[in-house]
Structure 1
Amino acid sequence: MKKTRKYLFFGIILLSISSFNNISNYKGEKILIDIGDSLTVGAGGEGTTMSNVTLKLLQGKWIVKNRGVGGENTLTIGARQGGIPMYIKDTIILPANGEIVEIPSGIYSSYNDKKIHPLIQGEGGLNPCYIDGIECTLSRNSKTEKYYIKRNRRSFESYTVKPKTNIITQLSLEKDGIATIFIGQNGGYENPQDLLNQINLFIKHKGDENVIIITSHGNGDSKTIEPIKKKYGKKLIDLKKYMSNKAIYDAISLKLLPDNVSYPTESDINAMKKNNAPPSLLYDGIHLNKIGYELLGRLRYKKGQELGYW
């Protein structure tokens, strides 16, 4: 009997350790950084975003930074975040006087040496950036689509940047707190495993697994999310599943939509039958409307509670 109790005691300890590893109380800096594309920005939400909804629920006790930039794929977002650095292919000279310099060949991803296109719809924490420790500003001419770089402080001598030198962004230095990684809608990956590999690099760069991962309702099908779910488990929000099954009913329950026969509409029901988001929660085919973003912000807040982040 004593041996049985002894084994039971150690079994409980092992279960407790296992549970702690999966979900533990977060005690670090109260900073939440949202990294992604236009869905993170809140395009279509008329000022309502996932970030500001969660901030309100956190009662202003956290710093919430929206680092979304519209139109960016996973590689471009990874370049800003720092997990997949971008580099300059050319040899260029940063003049001592701070004069702006063209980058002839553009910007490339260290992941697959393909061109990426930052700064099309915003910075999202890219600048100031650093080349071999020199603080710079990266810019883009929207008409010519050419990229330029300039050092932010004058020096006594010019500096030669060697080929394939990485550009280190300001966002890549911001590793404290909780990061929400909301990527994938605009492509940038070859297959589900490739997407997981890139997410792994985001998290490796951050230095810890204090993250929430969100897959898009637009292209986050079961095959795409399965490797991510297997690796990160409860840290994942399957937005497609939520939007196509539960979101419209949460909107009614929260009185964001009227509780009458008007909702869900016939169009909503037909969309959900096809595993798609209901039109009543969308601004267009992909972007959410203010109700959709309200639900997303609440969903992310609930996930943070489940993970013990706040």
Structure 2
Amino acid sequence: MNLKFLRVLIVIFLLTLNFSCSSQENEETKETFEKVLIDIGDSLTAGAGGDGNSMSKVASKLLGKEWIVKNMGVGGENTLTIGARHGGIPMYVKESIIIPKDGSKVEIPSGLYSSYNHKKVLPLLQGSAGINPCKIDTIQCKLTRNQNKYYINRITPFSSDYKTKENTTLHTSLSDQKKGILTIFIGQNGGYSSPSELLNQIDLFVQHKGDDNIIIITSHGNSTTEIVKLVREKYKSKYIDLKEYMTTKAIYDAIEFGLLPNNGDYPTVKDLERINTNQTPKTLLKDGIHFNSIGYELLGRIRYKKGKELGYW
């Protein structure tokens, strides 16, 4: 065989091999990057009362190390404040402010407002999940709260101060995180005036996500028949009616899964009384609304089952 022709074949082979490996690496990187699960919500998402357990922790255990699970639950937040963190319902600074060039903090005089209805939102009450670093226009900043006042400062000092316009949107870091699967678990703390308004706000979360890789959960605490009807009609198989589950099957699943002893002690008389009045059994609760470790384990498992049904994992 001609030596020159042989060299050409070798070069072509090496280039093809390199391209193939590069493409495979890119696909592997993409697959790994998209194996992200973000749980957004309030204290029920955060896992308050669970002694370290939460829906997100159960997911991490069941999904394994290939998945990145982010618990973005913060206690005490209503739908508008959660929406402000998530980015589906952005918050804004009403007045023009000057952000100092040296990175020192400046007060946001009147606080932060929701783009949904121009009412105040109150982030950073019990946590900062997904807020910082934030941006005003192109300026990367940090938002802080002290004695009911909000402050912002530039992260990297610059050569000059920056003056914002009135009604400038404050973008959170979470607002840019749209890959993977999003669980939206909001509504227990209000922020809406009607079931249709709650559905409309959920729609804004989904629109911001940019795809339908979602799971919607409504609370076992204050979910109504109308809320369930509207959300189920809109989101169908992507919806979990947590109240229905917790007041019917949950405690029996706890026994089946070995989370409670199968010795006749459960459900208790009190549990059955609450089930008969459409309430979550006390055995699964830490207090009036928050689950204990067993309750969060059950929540995590039914969410995992739903994701499995939807082909997410």
TM-score normalised by the chain length of structure 1: 0.90
Deviations 1:182-233 (A, max 9, x none): 0000000110100010011001001001000010000112211211111100
Query: Which whole-Å CA distance do the structure 1 matches of 2:249 and 2:224 have between them?
Result: 16
For 2:211 and 2:279, the matched residues in 1 are separated by 33
Cα RMSD (Å)? 1.2
For residues 28 and 148 of structure 1, do their structure 2 counterparts lie closer, same or farther at Cα, with a shift above 3 Å needed?
closer
Query: Which AA in structure 2 matches 1:101?
Result: V
Listed as ranges, the matches of 1:204-223 within 5 Å are 204-223=207-226
Match of 1:247 among 247, 250, 258: 250
Question: Whole-Å Cα distance in 1 between the matches of residues 166 and 307 of structure 2?
Answer: 42
SS in 1 for 2:247: helix
**Whole-Å Cα distance in 2 between the matches of residues 258 and 92 of structure 1?**
60
Which amino acid is the alignment partner of residue 93 of structure 2?
I
1:18 maps to which residue?
none
Conserved 8 A contact 2:112-2:122: yes
Name the aligned partner's letter for residue 82 of structure 2.
Answer: I
Matched, 1:257 2:257: no
Q: Which segments of 5 or more consecutive residues in structure 2 lack a partner in the other structure?
A: 1-30
Choose the corresponding residue for 2:75, options 70, 74, 87. Answer: 70
Report the AA paired with residue 201 of structure 2: Q
Counterparts of 1:115 and 1:58, CA distance in 2 = 38
Q: Which residue of 2 aligns with 1:98?
A: 103
Work out whether 1:119 is the aligned partner of 2:127. no
> Which one-letter code corresponds to 1:122 in the other structure?
G
* 2:134 match: 129
Shift of 1:27: 10
What is the alpha-carbon distance in structure 2 between the residues aligned to residue 127 and residue 85 of structure 1?
14
2:72 matches 1:61: no
Q: Give CA-to-partner distance per residue, 1:31-90, whole Å, 9 cap, x none.
A: 000000000110000011100111111122211000000000000000000010000011
Could you tell me which of 278, 281, 286 is aligned with 2:281? 278
SS at match of 2:216: strand
- Give the whole-Å Cα distance in 1 for the aligned partners of 2:179 and 2:121: 26
Amino acid at match of 1:260: N
Question: 1:195 is matched with which residue?
Answer: 198
Matched, 1:30 2:35: yes
Cα separation, 2, equivalents of 1:266 and 1:239? 22
Q: Name which of 39, 45, 49 aligns with 2:50.
A: 45
Is 2:144 the partner of 1:139? yes
Question: What CA distance in whole angstroms lies between the structure 2 residues aligned with 1:236 and 1:215?
Answer: 8
Computing the radius of gyration over CA atoms, which structure comes out larger, 1 or 2? 2
Number of positions where the alignment pairs a residue of Structure 1 with one of Structure 2: 283
* Matched letter for residue 31 of structure 1: V
Give the share of equivalent positions with the same residue, in percent.
62
1:271: Cα distance to partner? 0.6
Amino acid aligned to 2:238: K
Residue of structure 2 in register with 1:175 after alignment? 178
The 10-residue stretch of structure 1 (220-229 or 72-81) with the greater mean CA deviation from structure 2:
220-229
Counterpart CA distance in 2 for 1:162 and 1:309 is 42
Q: Which has the higher contact order (CA 8 A, sep 6+)?
A: 1
